[in-house]
Structure 1
């Protein structure tokens, strides 16, 4: 085996697909199925004006790939969507800066009310309008990546949590909790929130990754959702979008959480409902369903894609901070040559 990729989320299968063009690649997934954690719990959007500068650059570079993937997909994985950034809580200057730095267009409150009919009149003075956003079929994209990876000869092993690792000569000997043993020249750590946990098994440096909980919920409304775009407060206090006749919403919480299966934060849900109702006529009250996932941050907030300084043949591919889906194609195409060239 040339490469073992640890982690079967969108990041892991994307970089595995790129490497499988000319390498023998194995993906090890700890769970019984792929995309159980962060990938399967996202808001399923591509927004070029979302995130810090490095993330926005990688996101923009991924757009054409998502619209027209180089492999077979079961229907489109990206469809047009618009995004409205609201100047809330006195953050108008941040909206203006976002419009100056990205493709989003600075607009006045009256125009924002026209574009998002559920906004309360007079509540918003300034906003930014991004017409380039996309609604993503995340699981469709993930399945297509995995299928294309297998078509290139790649192998995926599920229920394959890494128990130990040993460097023997130029190879890593990786043993799973099931007792299976795999050997490879290179290991790519795409294990998300478990990045530092996995790294420690290989004697790699600790990146000081911070898994943070993000709660998402769906709520009913009596308001018409016709024409309602993806709408977010510039202060990271909330976002919402119409989905299936209901409102998909998040408080954009980011509380520290151990790697695992987080539960939705009921207090954050209540806060988000209050914040959304303050600027809209949605009248959110009851919650249909709620879930949570982990967004994992490196200390500088940028994704980590580099060789370890201590463990030979160990490549870090983590810290994607919840932007991993929208920048997966470009980040994988950036990392794959680094891994090949060592």
Structure 2
């Protein structure tokens, strides 16, 4: 790669869903280089997501960005993908009797933002016959939930990025950053890249990149999330059933390609690395699922783990650093990065470029201050 090819107006670090979406938006306005430490984009969290569009899921900024992304999922740009990004999947939040107050609070909070129904008693089994009778007393159905084709979405953003002239460099682990004049030098295992602006979309590694740049600490904590698949029940077809989630996020169960995908919804803090599932978490998962559902787990067919990165308030961190000029945070998406990526990439690009807040995002009540890095310092 020539010296001219290494120069850009914007360098985006991380080619997972966050980096790919913002890079695709930015490439329509400026020369962009997208750096990925692995040999293929999306190896870590993006490739290990349960991939559900859940308008009722997450803190307020996440729900706003999710709603603002809906139109993109339903009508992506021409040539973005040859397949549908959505397929229907209702979301069922369940509560035991002692959890009813938590479900009431969630229902009150989201009822005006999405289409929900409350269920009680025997109604729960009508919608989720796998539930163990008597386990849960109440549920909330989010009727606007969808499954997301993560591979098609991620590859669509990368395709759009390349079509707009962007350059993707894989195997480019960032080893150092230095500020020279009005620009950044980003040293990687594939050489050095120079640009006035760096966008940090490095997922679980975003805190490490922030340290290299001398940016403020945002308290980003990667947390392990475990998942597994088990055999589907032979009694009836489960493909149409909702993803069923404990209202306090103690577990979830989702039909998935002829199997049942299960998780203990664990959030174990750990250093960023190629995380693998722990046997204890798999055992906890099996126990919670068999307690809540009339399902016998005889064998785990497959298992994996991914990293979901959070700051203290669990909202993303999106905006320019106050201590490192030209360094832009796009971090802390937690487990919501897939469902928010169209709107989040659009908003982040507008903020990088100094453009006004896109109207379709403003219409959802989104306040940029709710995700700005400065809010964390103020809270501290």
Q: Deviations over 1:208-256 (max 9, x none)?
A: 1000000010011434343421111112111011112211011100000
**Corresponding residue to 2:230 among 219, 229, 254:** 219
Decide which moves more: 86-95 or 46-55: 86-95
- What do you get for the CA RMSD once the two structures are aligned? 1.4
The 5 Å alignment of 1:262-341 reads: 262-341=275-354
Compute the TM-score of the two structures, normalised by the length of structure 2.
0.87
Contact conserved, 1:238 with 1:252, CA < 8 A, in 2?
yes
Q: In the comparison of the two structures, how many residue pairs are matched?
A: 341
Q: Separation in 2 of the partners of 1:335 and 1:242?
A: 33
Cα distance between partner residues in 2 of 1:210 and 1:285? 34
**Paired residue for 2:377?**
none
* 2:35 paired with 1:22: no
2:224–2:306 Cα contact (<8 Å) kept: yes
Is the contact made by 1:241 and 1:249 (CA closer than 8 Å) also made in structure 2?
yes
Query: Is the CA contact (8 Å cut-off) linking 1:118 and 1:228 kept in structure 2?
Result: no
Distance 1:11 1:190 in 2: 6
In structure 2, stretches of 5+ residues that fail to align are 1-7, 356-380
- Is the contact made by 1:273 and 1:285 (CA closer than 8 Å) also made in structure 2? no
Contact 1:211/1:295, CA 8 A, preserved across alignment: yes
The 5 Å alignment of 1:1-342 reads 1-72=8-79, 73-88=81-96, 90-102=98-110, 103=114, 104-178=116-190, 180-222=191-233, 223-226=235-238, 227-341=240-354
Report the alpha carbon displacement of residue 123 of structure 1 after superposing the two structures with TM: 2.3
For the residues of structure 2 that align with 1:99 and 1:49, how far apart are their CA atoms?
A: 9
1:95 touches 1:106 (CA, 8 Å); kept in 2? no
For structure 1, the 5+ residue unaligned runs are: none
Q: Is the 8 A contact 1:12 1:190 kept in 2?
A: yes
Deviations 1:94-125 (A, max 9, x none): 11222221132211121111011112223221
Distance 2:331 2:44 in 1: 14
Determine the C-alpha separation between the residues in 1 that align with 2:285 and 2:237. Answer: 18
